Amino acid sequence: MTVDGISLDQNFDLKVVSEDGFEWGYEGASPAQLALAILADVRGNEHALANYELFMREIVANFNNEWEMTAADIDEALENIGARA
């Protein structure tokens, strides 16, 4: 998992939901860790902690095998799912 060619930080220092690495396409601990990492990277730690479970259920759980999201896509998705500011 990369962001602009750099490996995405799993953010274990923020919260450990799963130590098994990132996964997507279903609801679970590894997709939740991915959701947390994505949101921490784009919106910061506080926003990530407040919204990662919702983002995992509504967005990450529905990813196909191959996917790509820009920061603008993430912002739009957060707005569409009613994430906390």
Whether the pTM exceeds 0.85: the reply is yes
pLDDT tens for each residue of 4-21: 778 888 989 999 999 998
Q: What DSSP designation does 6 have?
A: E
pLDDT above 90: residue 62:
yes
All structural domains of the chain with their residue ranges: 2-80
Per the prediction, the chain carries an average pLDDT of 93
- What are the CA-CA distances from residue 23 to residues 14, 31, 35, 62, 79 (Å)? 18, 5, 10, 11, 23
